[in-house]
Amino acid sequence: MPDHRRNGSVRHPGGSEAVTLGRLRGEPDRSWRHVVAERSLVLIKPDAVRRGLVGEIIGRLERKGLAIDAMRLRTMDVALADQHYAEHVERDFYPPLRDFMTSGDLVALVVSGDEAIAVIRNLIGSTDGRKAAPGSIRGDFSLSNRENLVHASDSVDSAKREISLWFPELAE
C-alpha cells in the first residue's frame, strides 16, 4: 500500500489518516529519509503499564533511533488474543498467557527503522526475563517468562499480520 505523506501524517487509500507521534509533537515530516524502514508491532504489556514503565520502554526505542509510527492505549479482548497468538492457542501455556494479556491496559505501537525487527528484539532481550542480558528491557526490569513487559514481531511476515490486527488502517 503506498505511503503518501503530508504534514507528518500517513494518508492511505480510502482517505484515512493515522496520527503519528511526530505530528503530535509538531515535528517536521521525516519522509526525506532514504533508508527503507522495516516495521514491527510492539506491545507494551499490562505488567509494564501497571509498573509505570511505558515511558522507559518508548524512550529506549526512540533513543536507539527507531520511529514510533502509531500508538494506542487499549485492552486486548479474548478474540484478539486468540487471533494474535493463533499459533499458540492449543498449547498448554496459552490459557495463562491469554489471561495475563487480557488483564489490563496495554500500549500497542507500530515502530519503524532500519532492520527494526532485529533491533527491537535485541533491545527487549530474551523471552525469559531471568535469563535476559543486563541492559535489555527484560534484563533490566523482568523476572518472568510470561510477564515479560514487551512483545515484538519476530519476522516481517509476523509484523504484517500483527499490524493488520492492531492497526488495520496501516496494513499493507
Residue at grid coordinates 532514504: 34
Nearest to 75 by CA among 41, 51, 43, 121: 43
- Please confirm, yes or no, whether 151 is among the known catalytic residues: yes
**98 neighbors 83 (Cβ within 8 angstroms):** no
Active-site annotation holder among 4, 12, 88, 151: 151
**Residue 151: strand pairing partners:** 43
Q: 131 labelled as ligand-binding?
A: no
**122 neighbors 136 (Cβ within 8 angstroms):** yes
Q: Cell numbers of 164, please?
A: 493488520
Q: Cell numbers of 131, please?
A: 535469563
Q: 161 labelled as ligand-binding?
A: no
Give whole-number Cα distances, 167 to 81, 83, 95, 142, 144, in Å. Answer: 15, 14, 24, 27, 28
Q: 93 labelled as ligand-binding?
A: yes
**For the purposes of burial, counting CB atoms within 10 Å of the CB of 36, is it exposed (0-12), middle (13-18) or buried (19 or more)?**
exposed
Q: 100 labelled as ligand-binding?
A: no
Query: Which residues sit in the known binding site for ATP?
Result: 45, 93, 121, 127, 138, 148
Query: Which residues sit in the known binding site?
Result: 45, 93, 121, 127, 138, 148
Residue positions annotated with a catalytic role = 151
